[in-house]
Amino acid sequence: MARILGIDYGRKRTGVAVTDPLQIVAGALGTVPTHTLEQFITDYVAREEVELIVVGQPLQLNGEPSESMRYITPFVNRLRKILPNIPVVMYDERFTSTIAHQAMIDGGMKKSDRRDKARVDSIAATIILNDYLMSRKNS
């Protein structure tokens, strides 16, 4: 099996997570400046076998796409052109930042560390990817 990449896309920086080769669990790869994200992903898939890319889909509470989709949709379309052999899917990311903050609190992280938005983004990417894995397992 190959790995699955998870993306929590942001205008300035993007959280990136990846599964183990058996696709059992996801872990944070970190954050990447968004303007370098496509190159980062291209370099990563050249080194590691990646079967799928999961991009967080920001939805409002009513299920409608959020304003952020106007930045994410063009990114997803470019990614599909750059890497035509790797499927790219969108997955609901509602509440992942809130869950990431709560996980940091529950894990005993200091308040000053919880203010690190890059850390929140990488945790959110991990949550998106783990949620995707669970949904796939349950379906």
Task: Give the separation between CA 129 and CA 114, rounded to whole angstroms.
Answer: 21
Task: Give the separation between CA 28 and CA 95, rounded to whole angstroms.
Answer: 18
Higher pLDDT, 25 or 116: 25
pLDDT-derived band at 114 (thresholds 50, 70, 90) equals low
Q: List beta partners, residue 18.
A: 5, 27
Lowest-confidence region among 25-29, 32-36, 109-113: 109-113
Q: Which residues of 62-98 are buried (b: 16+ CB within 10 A; e: fewer)?
A: eeeeeebbeebeebbeebeeebeebebebbebeebbe
What pLDDT is attached to residue 68? Answer: 83
What's the predicted TM-score (pTM) here? 0.86
Cβ atoms of 32 and 80 within 8 Å: the answer is no
pLDDT(34) > 60: yes
What pLDDT is attached to residue 104? Answer: 60
For residue 72, give the 3-state DSSP assignment: helix
Q: Read off the pLDDT of each residue in 59-68 and give the average, rounded to a whole number.
A: 78
Q: Read off the pLDDT of each residue in 123-133 and give the average, rounded to a whole number.
A: 90
Number of separate domains in the chain: 1
Average pLDDT, rounded, for the chain: 87
CATH number of residue 53's parent domain: 3.30.420.140
What pLDDT is attached to residue 83? Answer: 98
Helical H segments across the chain, by residue range? 37-47, 69-82, 96-106, 111-114, 117-138
What pLDDT is attached to residue 33? Answer: 97
Please give the residue range of the domain that contains residue 95. Answer: 3-138
Cβ atoms of 39 and 78 within 8 Å: the answer is no
What pLDDT is attached to residue 47? Answer: 96
